[in-house]
């Protein structure tokens, strides 16, 4: 086939180093000086008001340096974790775009949401103290399924909006498609569920923020796919400090799959704690936290229809998809969801042809 022929396997160069223990992942990185450790208290409710948070028992544990809550975030004036995207639906109405606090003070909207942060002199103490934080909740009805999320009777994730619909995006000429489907010699349809999935990279999320006393700066070590994006969000949007005071370093990454390019509340909170306490802080997420708090994918309900002429030629294709984007919007909002749907059209077509035969 030749030295550079299409289909020729490409020899990998990094495997020996990684397979023989020569990799340097975020958890391997050591910082100079005193290092504190963080643990998070997460919501057990899909929807609930936060009536009170009692941190006294946690603070009484030897080795605990600080316990931070949503009220501390509010008092410090931290900015919101925002979405870059602003879209309009097919009628021209702006999308429903809720704001997201780094850590909420009044209400939680999904299981696993960060509600408090403990900082201690070692990881085990931080985790034990996190279990000692007492939160009084008032549970509320929750929207828990994609299929019925748009039903009028389903509780609203954000009551200030008139619906759980974020945006109704449409591409194509609806009237023309409907006419062609109606006049097609053969019309076929299929309903497909693309179930929700957790990404589960090899290395769970880890954040080490090294504090530099010489310039009051932060160096964030974390496995990322978007260092510049995270640098800008943490410095200018969340902490409101000059961008050159924040560096983001990502060395070997145990899997990305798209979830590494976003700014998570945990990253922002570890950076906030380091800047507030003037000390380096580290958080090591575990597999349970990966399932609860990493961005997830899919969760789509698809209804597809195809019209064919008498010779089996496709004359029209319509795909309607309901996509779960969660309680909050990520920085890229829901754009990747409909882009992915549009990119999947060829596969949809092949499936429909197979069914029609």
- Tens-digit pLDDT profile for residues 143-158: 988 999 999 999 999 9
Instruction: Name residue 54's beta-bridge partners.
Output: 134
pLDDT for residue 91: 81
Q: Is the pLDDT of residue 348 over 60?
A: no
- N-term to C-term CA, the chain: 37
Q: Counting runs of H as helices and runs of E as strands, what totals does the chain give?
A: 10, 13
Q: Is the pLDDT of residue 295 over 80?
A: yes
CATH of 174-198+296-356, one of 3.40.50.12780, 3.40.50.620, 3.30.365.10, 3.40.50.1950: 3.30.365.10
Q: Is the pLDDT of residue 355 over 50?
A: no
Q: What's the pLDDT tens digit per position in 215-250?
A: 999 999 999 888 998 999 999 999 999 999 999 999
pLDDT for residue 354: 46
Q: How many residues does the chain have?
A: 357
Helix extents (H) in the chain:
15-19, 56-59, 70-76, 123-132, 174-183, 227-232, 265-277, 287-293, 335-343, 345-356
Q: Which one has a higher pLDDT value, 229 or 179? A: 179
Give the 3-state secondary structure of residue 216.
Answer: coil
What residues does each domain of the chain span? 174-198+296-356
**Predicted confidence band at 301 (pLDDT cuts at 50, 70, 90)?**
very high
**Predicted confidence band at 4 (pLDDT cuts at 50, 70, 90)?**
low
Give the 3-state secondary structure of residue 115.
Answer: strand
What pTM does this model have?
0.89
Query: With b meaning 16 or more CB within 10 Å and e meaning fewer, what string describes 152-181?
Result: eebeebbeeeeebebbebeeeeeeebeebb
pLDDT for residue 356: 40
For the chain, list the strands marked E by DSSP.
Answer: 35-42, 48-54, 64-69, 107-108, 114-120, 134-139, 186-194, 206-212, 217-221, 246-249, 280-284, 300-308, 314-323
Average pLDDT, the chain: 90
Instruction: Name residue 210's beta-bridge partners.
Output: 219
Q: In what order do the strands lie in the sheet with 300-308?
A: 186-194, 300-308, 314-323
Q: What is the mean pLDDT of residues 293-298?
A: 88
Q: Which of 56-60, 255-259, 299-303 has the highest mean pLDDT?
A: 56-60
Q: Is the pLDDT of residue 319 over 80?
A: yes
pLDDT for residue 225: 86
Q: How far apart are CA 92 and CA 69, in angstroms?
A: 39
pLDDT for residue 349: 55
Q: How far apart are CA 159 and CA 162, in angstroms?
A: 7
pLDDT for residue 352: 46
Q: How far apart are CA 177 and CA 306, in angstroms?
A: 10
pLDDT for residue 357: 43
Q: How far apart are CA 293 and CA 112, in angstroms?
A: 6
Q: How many CA atoms lie within 13 A of 190 on its CB side?
A: 15
């Amino acid at each position: 086939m030749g030295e550079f022929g299409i289909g020729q396997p490409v020899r990998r160069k990094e495997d020996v180093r990684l397979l023989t223990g020569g990799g340097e992942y975020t958890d391997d990185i050591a910082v100079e000086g005193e290092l504190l450790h963080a643990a998070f208290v997460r919501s057990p409710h899909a929807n609930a008001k936060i009536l009170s948070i009692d941190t006294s028992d946690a603070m009484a544990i030897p080795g605990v340096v600080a316990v931070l809550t949503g009220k501390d975030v509010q008092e410090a004036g931290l900015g919101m974790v925002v979405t870059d995207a602003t879209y309009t639906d097919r009628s021209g109405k702006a999308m429903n775009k809720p704001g997201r606090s780094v850590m909420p003070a009044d209400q939680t909207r999904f299981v696993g949401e960060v509600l408090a942060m403990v900082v201690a002199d070692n990881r085990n103490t931080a985790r034990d103290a996190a279990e000692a934080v007492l939160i009084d909740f008032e549970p509320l009805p929750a929207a828990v399924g994609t299929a019925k999320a748009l039903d009028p009777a389903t509780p609203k994730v954000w009551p200030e909006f008139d619906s759980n619909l974020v945006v109704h995006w449409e591409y194509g000429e609806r009237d023309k498609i409907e006419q062609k489907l109606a006049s097609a010699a053969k019309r076929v349809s299929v309903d497909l569920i693309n179930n929700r999935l957790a990404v589960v990279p090899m290395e769970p999320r880890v954040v080490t923020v090294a504090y530099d006393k010489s310039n009051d700066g932060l160096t964030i070590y974390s496995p990322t796919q978007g260092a510049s994006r995270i640098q800008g969000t943490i410095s200018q949007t969340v902490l409101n400090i000059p961008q050159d005071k924040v560096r983001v370093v990502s060395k070997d990454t145990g899997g990305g799959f798209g979830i590494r390019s976003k700014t998570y509340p945990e990253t922002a909170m570890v950076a906030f704690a380091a800047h507030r306490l003037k000390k380096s802080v580290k958080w090591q997420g575990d597999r349970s936290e990966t399932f609860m708090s990493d961005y997830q994918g899919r969760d789509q309900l698809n209804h597809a229809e195809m019209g064919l002429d008498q010779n089996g030629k496709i004359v029209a294709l319509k795909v309607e998809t309901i996509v779960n984007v969660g309680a909050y919007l990520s920085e890229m909002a829901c754009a990747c969801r409909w882009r992915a749907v549009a990119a999947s059209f060829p596969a949809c077509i092949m499936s429909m042809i197979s069914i029609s035969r």
